[in-house]
Structure 1
Amino acid sequence: MLKHLRNWGLLPILGLFLLHAWLYADFFIDDAFISLRYVQQWLAGNGLVYNIGEYVEGYSNFLWVVLVALLGFFEVDLILATRIWGISLSILTMILVYIAVRGLPFPLFAPLLLALSPSFAMWAMGGLENPLFMLLLLVGSLLFYREETQKPGWSSSICWGLLALTRPDGLLFGAIAFCYRVGTLYRNGQWPQRHDYLRGLVLAGIVLPHLLWRFSYYGYWLPNTIYAKSMGLNLRTLLEGGLYLYTSSEILGGLFVIVLLLLLALTAKQRHGYTLYFTLNVGAYAAFIMLAGGDWMPAQRFLASILPLLAILLQLGAVELVTLLRTRLPQPIAWSPILLHLLYIAAMALTMRFIEPGIPINHRLSLPYAWVLYLEDAVEITDTIAVFDAGLVSYAMPLTVRIVDMVGLADGHIAHRPPQFPGGLWGRGDAWGRWDVDYVLAQNPRFIQTSLQGMDAQGMWRTGFTGTTQLVNDPRFQAHYTMTELNGLFERK
């Protein structure tokens, strides 16, 4: 692989990425701590559980959990373990993107786009599985393209299987490859060949054992997080998904720029072999995002999943745009739109740097860490704590402390409640529409953590989540709980 780096221009770009990632050193998303709680329990011999004795799959990134646990087994700090994997896999992704486009004019465009992208840099540091997902998707797509155009094979199915273990939506790309192959066979009037059957067997050999293990261990075919987040197919879901796609596109220049470059790549006189297949992947995943209702996390987590493929496609579109402009304009002017595009992405990165979403991992003064420091002194090892933010608090507590996730990601009861949206079509604060005040109070938690925002004009408490707003205004809660010295943290009287 290193022989392809003779153009040492890639090395400064890798350095730029490392600098960019370092700027987000304080970014670590709360949900990542949920996965780390599972790793803690596993390494302690309690199984892949959130609470001891409760078999609920409150994570959806099995392969990522395994990789982090691997480093944790050798006593590497778990937060550091996610950073080691995130940075390493992201660098490998950039190198492979460069190799994929090295035969094109200005082959540094695609890796430079990744290095400047705030989504790419932030999720290398954010603690979740995005870097692994991006790498497996890129490798699988490149292998499948080679199998279809050069040497028939089945190795791409290994990537599709591992991608499905990284996150369940990864199986979508195996389905896209299958449909693409069926279309190719139909156009050529051929029957499936030996390697086609091997592809299916390899994929099934990876996915089915894990699926059977999941059902035997947790009692469900899908992760609990999917049940918790599924809002059903309705107008609100589609509107939120469409809005998410539109706003996410801003970090790459906006929807118009992306669509323009994709159309140029697709309609080029000498269209590159990657173009159609990669566009199918990007388009299908965009449709999935819309049907799923988007995502709440910062830095366009879903869009980041397909960013390497999108970078290659934008590279192809940019080359075609420059080719067209050079027939009418001097070369420096012909390249100016592409340079402006990169400058725009850099400006977006600088803008997002100062937003600093997520939870800082250093001990600065912040409310989440104040909750943790308070609870570390006050909690007993047999206590129950109900939380709105199910990550950091659970990660910092003793493993014997029972955590009730009031949003339902790591709680089997709440995740399987029917969704409800009292806020209506555009209502805010309903999250995925699942909560149960009676259930939370029945757990008799000693502490309850909420995102308290104050009181309204009618004297009612407001929080950032409808479920906890109903909870803190419930007469039973007000009779038995009082707020501690910290805003939003309540203790049983």
Structure 2
Amino acid sequence: MLIAVLGYLTRWICDDALIFTRIVEQILSGNGPVYSAGERAETSTSALWQWLLALAGFVSGNTDTSAISWMLGLALTAGGFALAVAATRRLHDRPGTWLLPVGVLILLALHPVWQYATSGLETGLNTFWMAACWWLLVRARGNTSGKAITGAALVIGLGPLVRPEQALVAAVFLVALWLLTRPGRRVTLAAAGAAAALPLGYEIFRMGYYGVLVPMPAITKNADASRWARGFTYLTDFADPYLLWIPLVPVTVVLARLLRRTRADRSGLLVTLTPVVAGLLLLGYVLKVGGDYMHARMLLPSLFLVLLPVLVLPRSRTTGVLTLVVVVWAPLCAGLARYREEPAAVRSIDDERAYYQAWTGREYPTDSTDFTPRQRNLQDAVADAVNSGRRVLIYQGPHNEIITAPLRADLPGKAAVLGVYLGTVGMLAPVDVGIVDFWGLSNPIGARFAFPEGKPGHAKPLSNAWLVADYAAPEAPTSPAGNFVFRDEVTPAQVAAARHALNCGDLAEVQRSTREPLTLKRFWANLTGAWHRTQVTIPPDPFEAERKFCGRP
């Protein structure tokens, strides 16, 4: 009840949530899980959240699922908390023993937990899935039937579809499930098949449909990179404002004592260790890749996992002292602790809710209509192009002026619009108008640019040379005196080099994999070439790209 109330009091959605909304609109319009019709790019990181929203939109008859997303996220968060606490109660339940709230109060005291109970992103689904895995593992101690084990494996195996990095957590829970139940060969094979069926099936679909191994944002953010220093900065950015060490140090001591006491109980020790190991592995991955640009968001799942065995604890002298520490800290944290952002040039980590409150001018931005007024000039330009039948590329200049250029004849869509706020721009345009992503989250070219240090997801701007070369008609102006001056000036030589590179080697194959009609032949080519295609990187400089892909000296 508390997390439902606190989540409701801080309800919101972010621009990234509208990315899911746009994809749902395309699915329900019959264009498939894409952001722009005719260009197969997987823009959403959570496949399961995308399809849950599509189902909700289909059932409700509403293609705009922006409001549904925060409500569904809040319901899943509240359900996840209830399920997690129920499982921990079952783990520690002994006749005549009182249970004290410890870990759950730590979670409830943190503002980021309240905020990401909604947001329109997959965090609520993530919370519910982790809680379900925990509940099923605890339940498996007393139910080792083949059906129960197979059903648990099916749910745990959904991890990669919740978020790709949750494959780590799913693997730990699956190993623990097998060690806990020790099923025979037949049940083991059935459980393995159940766990792998949906993720493997979807991965085959992803490779054949999109032509890559991972969602496009993973390529954009270089999810295999190592940026440990930034990762530890991201960790302290979360821990310091809330003085998290005050409750976590004694919780760690109590957890260690709990593990020591359960050494004789093999199953109890295994169950207790599982979410802790999974949480630490997930934390390690987040630190390795450098965290995120959203304050605390990527660390909340790790904290939730590590606290699962101590959400509630049996009353004792030690747990009584710990509970007292948490009870004193929690209201002070909830009431007084606030995140203070440093200048973007210092750490590039944002309080996203505060940002979009300021950007939209709404205390509770919970619908796509709260975002679109800030881009009204773009919306009017798109409507004018569609109504007049002019096939143009539309974007804003350095002073927010509207700039247009003829669209390439071979591109689908009535028009195309460049999106800096990708989700918001997607809400301005009908599904038959293409969206050109400035930051590369849905752009197969920009996503593959060499990765510079900077804000994750915002470090690969699509330069004007590539914009003109890929989307504008040959007669579009390309001189410095022309219209294309949004971020940089562009010369005819740069555009010519970019156009040439787009038709050579691996870069031409990237284009074909996303834009050619999806025949069986194309699906097979995408599937078999997905590994190599995922590794392709593109120099942002058109001349370097031309040399790399076309061999021009």
> One fold, TM greater than 0.5?
yes
* Contact 1:164/1:207 (<8 A) preserved: yes
Cα distance change on mapping 1:413 and 1:113 into 2, 3 Å: same
TM superposition shift of 1:314: 4.3
Q: Which has the higher mean CA deviation after the structures are superposed, 142-151 or 392-401?
A: 142-151
* Contact 2:216/2:441 (<8 A) preserved: yes
Q: Show the counterpart of 2:354.
A: 357
**TM-score using structure 2 length:** 0.67
Does residue 245 in structure 1 map to residue 235 in structure 2?
yes
Q: Show the counterpart of 2:278.
A: 281
Q: Show the counterpart of 2:158.
A: 162
* Contact 1:387/1:404 (<8 A) preserved: yes
Q: Show the counterpart of 1:484.
A: none
- For residues 430 and 166 of structure 1, the distance between their equivalents in structure 2, rounded to whole angstroms, comes to 20
Please list, as runs of the form range in 1=range in 2, the aligned pairs for 1:80-479 lying within 5 A after superposition: 80-102=67-89, 103=93, 105-147=98-140, 151=144, 153-180=149-176, 193-230=185-222, 232-234=224-226, 237-250=227-240, 253-255=243-245, 257-268=247-258, 269-271=260-262, 273=269, 274-298=271-295, 300-315=296-311, 323-324=317-318, 335-347=323-335, 356-360=353-357, 364=361, 369-379=372-382, 380-381=385-386, 382-421=414-453, 428-429=454-455, 431=457, 433-437=459-463, 438-443=465-470, 472-474=487-489
* Contact 2:133/2:156 (<8 A) preserved: yes
TM superposition shift of 1:100: 2.2
What amino acid sits opposite 2:152 in the alignment? S
Cα distance change on mapping 1:251 and 1:303 into 2, 3 Å: farther
* Contact 1:386/1:405 (<8 A) preserved: yes
- For residues 242 and 276 of structure 2, the distance between their equivalents in structure 1, rounded to whole angstroms, comes to 16
TM superposition shift of 1:97: 2.4
* Contact 1:262/1:313 (<8 A) preserved: no
- For residues 154 and 378 of structure 2, the distance between their equivalents in structure 1, rounded to whole angstroms, comes to 44
Q: Among 50, 55, 58, which residue is 1:65 paired with?
A: 50
Q: Secondary structure at the match of 2:120?
A: coil
Cα distance change on mapping 1:412 and 1:400 into 2, 3 Å: same
TM superposition shift of 1:34: 0.9
- For residues 88 and 234 of structure 2, the distance between their equivalents in structure 1, rounded to whole angstroms, comes to 29
Q: Show the counterpart of 1:46.
A: 31
Cα distance change on mapping 1:183 and 1:97 into 2, 3 Å: closer
Q: Secondary structure at the match of 1:391?
A: helix
TM superposition shift of 1:117: 3.0
- For residues 415 and 295 of structure 1, the distance between their equivalents in structure 2, rounded to whole angstroms, comes to 16
- For residues 248 and 306 of structure 1, the distance between their equivalents in structure 2, rounded to whole angstroms, comes to 12
* Contact 1:414/1:436 (<8 A) preserved: yes
Residue identity over aligned pairs, in percent, reads 21
* Contact 1:98/1:108 (<8 A) preserved: no
TM superposition shift of 1:124: 2.2
* Contact 2:88/2:309 (<8 A) preserved: no
Task: Provide structure 1 residue ranges, at least 5 long, that are not aligned to the other structure.
Answer: 1-13, 327-332, 422-427, 447-469, 478-493
TM superposition shift of 1:335: 4.7
* Contact 2:127/2:301 (<8 A) preserved: yes
**TM-score using structure 1 length:** 0.75
Q: Secondary structure at the match of 2:150?
A: coil
Q: Show the counterpart of 2:521.
A: none
* Contact 1:17/1:116 (<8 A) preserved: no
- For residues 323 and 256 of structure 1, the distance between their equivalents in structure 2, rounded to whole angstroms, comes to 19
- For residues 119 and 410 of structure 1, the distance between their equivalents in structure 2, rounded to whole angstroms, comes to 27
- For residues 355 and 250 of structure 1, the distance between their equivalents in structure 2, rounded to whole angstroms, comes to 18
* Contact 2:241/2:339 (<8 A) preserved: no
What amino acid sits opposite 2:287 in the alignment? M
Q: Secondary structure at the match of 1:204?
A: helix
Q: Secondary structure at the match of 2:158?
A: helix
Cα distance change on mapping 1:89 and 1:387 into 2, 3 Å: same
Encode CA deviations 1:356-401: one digit per residue, 9 max, x unaligned.
4353499637996444222222222333222222111212222222
- For residues 118 and 127 of structure 2, the distance between their equivalents in structure 1, rounded to whole angstroms, comes to 14
TM superposition shift of 1:58: 0.9
